[in-house]
Amino acid sequence: MNASSPDVPSDRPVALVTGATRGIGRAIATDLGRTHHVVVHGRSPEAVTALVADLPSASPWVAELTDDEVAAPSLDRLDVLVHSAGVIGGRDVADTPAAEWRRVLDVNVVAVAEVTRQLLPALRAARGTVVTINSGAGFTAGAGGGVYAASKFAARALADALREEERPHGVRVSSVHPGRVDTDMQHELVEAQGGEYRAELYLEPASVAAAVRLVVDLPHGATVESLSVRPTRKG
């Protein structure tokens, strides 16, 4: 899949947000859109086009990130790359086939590495910032959550390694670890588990976007290496 060069204005820094059409990704794209030209990634052309139209300065990137032929947009510079696209999946290890492990790891880890690899020249040119939206599951794993947690542990390891590799090039790398967030994905997860959904116990997507803004706006001589964000209330 080929990606064209987006029409990027010269008077705004450039941010690319994967998974930008819903949930956390949409909140991040909307917040960054106040100050940045946003390259909006999603799989649905209609959803991407609608969000691009809502932002002050934006361009589309429609792609399936796990496609073997995926090609990131051609950019001369990239100030911010936010990896927000992700999937949940898996059950107990005894009940999870290899195909499900591969599906989750492909989206949550391999696609992150490949898109970052392709965009590193533009990030280095801008001395940019990479932000991976991880999870509390990137620190701890429980019964039934091994597949998702394994992908998030791996994503944290990827970010840690990338951070050290890119220090000489001036590229900052941060992991943001939200607790459970009030999104469509969270509704689906709670419904699948047969639980009661109480929105007041979850983070708002805007809170995660605010955490990303903190990471991005920090003076460049400092890096937020890892940031954990949790709801104030507990059930």
Q: Which residues pair with 60 in a beta bridge?
A: 40
Residue 181 is classified by DSSP as B
Please give the structure tokens belonging to residue 172.
């900052």
Query: Catalytic: which of 148, 155, 158, 162?
Result: 148
User: Which residues, including other chains, have CB under 8 Å from residue 37's CB and lie 6 or more apart?
Assistant: 8, 9, 12, 13, 14, 15, 57, 58, 59
Tokens of residue 41, six digits:
């990634």
CB atoms within 10 A of CB 153: 19
Q: What residues are paired with 132 via a beta bridge? A: 83, 175
Is the distance from CB of 23 to CB of 51 less than 8 angstroms? Answer: no
List beta partners, residue 81. 16, 130
Q: Is 148 a catalytic residue?
A: yes
The residues assigned a catalytic role are: 148
